[in-house]
């Protein structure tokens, strides 16, 4: 049973770091838009990728260098596009004032959440490669996976619904300016790390 807390703590240590998923979940939580859909997509996606990693997908991905490069450049391009969108929101006061009123469609939100999950190679590195490899060091590897998947659910639900505690700041345009600048920096940093990351 020690595999469950070990998986939970390992998964939590990897997922808490601010990344593309977390930045998007935080933004949706602050705007109170489609939060349940977003956190469910992120949490279930993590759980699925952890299961695939434990089942051996990580080894298969490592043996396909061309696939890794597709993920690398495709993911970096998407992250840079997301960063540019955040910068545009931050530098245009008119769009910024409306940012807390604008309601994105559920379809648009779901597509963005899926893209930030499955087009981001860092998600695969954390879940499929790292957690999958660590889990296979345990005799009870599936219990380790259960603990790691549980960490994703706890984190995303806490981040998405806990963001509403910052509601009093949401009405201030300067808050959104700072948040969007922060998101842009995170996205650009992750893209740069992704382009320079040595998979093997």
Which of the 8 DSSP states describes residue 127? Answer: I
pLDDT digits (tens, 9 = 90+) for 168-185: 665 677 777 787 788 788
Summary mean pLDDT of the chain: 78
pLDDT recorded at residue 37? 95
Per-residue confidence (pLDDT) for residue 151, from 0 to 100: 92
Would you tell me how many other CB atoms lie within 10 Å of the CB of residue 104? 14
pLDDT over 90 at 146, yes or no: yes
Q: What is the pLDDT of residue 95?
A: 40
CA atoms within 13 A on the CB side of 20: 31
Give the mean model confidence (pLDDT) for residues 126-140: 78
Percent of the chain with pLDDT over 90: 18
Q: How many CA atoms lie within 13 A of 142 on its CB side?
A: 1
Mean predicted confidence (pLDDT) in 104-132: 83
User: Residues 133-141: what's their mean pLDDT?
Assistant: 78
Q: Which one has a higher pLDDT value, 98 or 18?
A: 18
Confidence (pLDDT) at 99: 46
CA angle, 77 then 78 then 80, to 5°: 65
What pLDDT is attached to residue 199?
53
Question: Are 163 and 156 contacting, i.e. CB atoms less than 8 angstroms apart?
Answer: no
Mean pLDDT of all residues in 124-153: 84
**pLDDT band for position 104 (cuts 50, 70, 90):** confident
Report the pLDDT value the prediction gives residue 98, as an integer from 0 to 100.
42
pTM listed for this prediction: 0.67
User: So what's the pLDDT on residue 61?
Assistant: 63
Write out pLDDT tens, residues 65-92: 776 677 678 767 877 887 887 788 778 7
- Answer with the residue of higher pLDDT: 34 or 12: 34
* Pick from 199, 194, 200: nearest CA to 79: 194
What integer is the mean pLDDT of 25-39?
Answer: 89
pLDDT (average), residues 125-154: 84
């Amino acid at each position: 049973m020690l595999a469950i807390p070990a998986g939970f703590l390992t998964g939590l240590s990897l997922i808490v770091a601010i990344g593309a998923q977390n930045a998007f979940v935080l933004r949706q939580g602050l705007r109170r838009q489609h939060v349940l859909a977003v956190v469910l997509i992120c949490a279930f996606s993590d759980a699925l990728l952890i299961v695939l990693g434990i089942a051996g997908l990580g080894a298969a991905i490592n043996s396909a260098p061309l696939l890794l490069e597709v993920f690398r450049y495709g993911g970096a391009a998407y992250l840079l596009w997301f960063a540019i969108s955040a910068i545009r929101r931050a530098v245009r006061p008119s769009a910024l004032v409306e940012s807390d009123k604008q309601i994105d469609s559920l379809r648009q939100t779901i597509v963005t959440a899926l893209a930030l999950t499955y087009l981001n190679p860092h998600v695969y590195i954390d879940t499929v490669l790292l957690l999958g490899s660590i889990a296979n060091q345990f005799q009870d590897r599936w219990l380790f996976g259960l603990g790691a998947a549980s960490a994703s659910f706890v984190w995303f639900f806490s981040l998405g619904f806990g963001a509403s505690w910052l509601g009093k700041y949401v009405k201030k345009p300067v808050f959104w300016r700072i948040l969007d600048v922060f998101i842009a920096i995170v996205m650009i940093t992750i893209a740069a790390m992704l382009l320079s990351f040595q998979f093997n």
